Structure 1
Amino acid sequence: MSLSAKAQPEQLVLALPHRQAQEAEDFLVSQSNAAAVELVDGWPDWGRAAALVTGPRGAGKSHLANVWRLRSHAHLVAAADLDDGSVGKLEERGALVVEDIDRGIASEQVLFHLLNFAREKAGSILLTSRAAPGDIEIGLPDLRSRLRAIPPVHIAPPDDALLRSVLVKLFSDRQLAVEPHVIAYIALHVDRAMDAVLGVVAACDRLSLARQGKITRAVAAAALESDAPDRDDERADADGDPEH
């Protein structure tokens, strides 16, 4: 299924507690991520061996990387796990996802070799990061130069239209009908990150079941309040958790 910023909306990391949703059809598109979607749509005609997607936690980098992985049949490895075997993975399939280069690169020499190999053998590497290469501490000068030469494609936090669409999709996946004014209220008050959105939707579901009623603005307000401590705990632990 082709992703397109002009197509039926499709984006963000819709990983529900009761099922994973990491396919192209679960990726809703808006202005905040259209450039990154166009990057995936443009493969294999990138005109370069490597591409870099940047964006804050929860913006959808991992989901987009998984869409590209499925399309390109790439292996996936975290930058913190890079070793000599990663080169064999690129050699095997000609495509590789390297996630979270801002969160530690196990072997800078291996990543430099991967980038060289992809360029020389017409391979493809998709890198993800929360920070631009210039803001990442990299000791190997050649790697630092090579990464800074890759034009980053940024995913911004979800805009209003995307946030409302994601909320509608998440509630629909739970077979919950929520009125537009309640969706608008949640979108106005929830943190613009997928972990926060997922948490509030789950809290709304729990509260509506406990109260044996529909999801009203009062239920949404209670869900937003009850989910806040959990989100604070998640943020405190964020540096040690993988992005989903």
Structure 2
Amino acid sequence: MQQLPLDIEIKADATFSNFIAGGEEANRQLVDLLKSVAAGNSEFIYLYGNAGTGRTHLLQGFIHQYSECFPQRLVAYLPLDNPQLVPAMVDGLLSFDAVCLDGLEHCLGNKEWETAFFNLYNHFKEQNKILIIAGDKAPQQLEVVLQDLKSRLSAMLIHAIQPLPDDAKRLLLQQKAEERGLELSEDVINYLFSRQQRDLPYLLGMLEKLDQASLQAQRRLTIPFVKQVLGL
């Protein structure tokens, strides 16, 4: 795997094996598709979902598995919300074998960016390479200046990531707590879910805050301690 010369992190724990599909058949099918592409089946895939649905996790999971299957090939993950990026960097990906673009919505409305995406798409299609793009909306709902780009995006295999139900969010929160060395009891989780927002970005941000407070105070995550840290 070749990394681009940017401060871009591929998380070691962002793998297909620990992605929680939440009992959603569509999510399991998407993971299976990405696994087959990582094994060498060339496809163009567009996946979309709200923040916290796992778009980045799935793209980075693909990077890990593709790199394991084909260590000599060039694969790139590009988070398009990175302020260091410029359209010319997309042109620099033409020689790669597989590319994942994360957060397409951050660069739309700019003709230079859109032209770079359009050219990458056409080149990869001609060369039978792999292109995976993640956005926050379906292609037809994106605000795109270059209509030829929208038509190309609409021709990709399109998959919506289904949001997790509460029981799967609980499982994910416990999993992330365990990875941090924290014990998150059922009582504490029940307390949090009865009083806090339930969207994943908020829950994971709350876990980060609790982790830092626990380390500083050298205390377990009990309900009184959680109440104190979160000001409940």
- 8 Å CA contact retained: 1:27, 1:64: yes
**Alpha-carbon contact 1:90-1:123 (below 8 Å) kept:** no
2:53 is aligned to 59
Which AA in structure 2 matches 1:154?
Answer: A
Counting aligned pairs with the same residue, the percent is 22
Instruction: Tell me if the contact between 2:42 and 2:129 (Cα under 8 Å) persists in the aligned partners.
Output: no
Residue 104 (structure 1) aligned with residue 107 (structure 2): yes
Aligned residues: 208
Q: Distance in 2 between matches of 1:67 and 1:211?
A: 34
Kindly provide the CA deviation profile for residues 7-49 of structure 1, in whole angstroms up to 9, marking residues without a partner as x: xxxxxxxx9xxx8633444433323543432231221579763
C-alpha contact (below 8 Å) 1:53/1:61 kept by paired residues: yes
Task: Provide the C-alpha distance between the structure 2 equivalents of 1:70 and 1:49, rounded to a whole number of angstroms.
Answer: 17
Call closer, same or farther: CA 1:177–1:141 in 2, change over 3 Å: closer
Q: State the partner residue of 1:68.
A: 62
User: Structure 1 residues 78, 172: closer, same or farther in 2, change over 3 A?
Assistant: closer
CA shift for structure 1 position 65: 0.6
Equivalent position amino acid for 1:86 in 2: V
Q: What is the CA–CA distance in structure 2 between the aligned matches of 1:188 and 1:118, rounded to whole Å?
A: 48
For residue 79 of structure 1, report the CA deviation from its aligned partner: 4.4
CA displacement 1:167-217 (0-9 Å, x = unmatched): 212222232223222223324444344432222223334555677653223
Aligned CA RMSD, in angstroms, stands at: 3.0
Q: Which residue of 2 aligns with 1:234?
A: none
Structure 2 CA distance for aligned equivalents of residues 209 and 83 of structure 1: 42
What is the CA deviation profile of residues 208-227 of structure 1, one whole-angstrom value per residue up to 9, with x for unaligned ones?
5677653223333444447x
Q: CA deviation at 1:82?
A: 5.7
**Equivalent position amino acid for 1:27 in 2:** F
- Show the 5 A alignment for 1:1-244: 21-32=13-24, 33-44=27-38, 49-73=43-67, 74-79=75-80, 81=85, 83-91=87-95, 93-105=96-108, 106-208=112-214, 213-225=219-231
Unaligned 5+ runs, structure 2: 1-8, 68-74
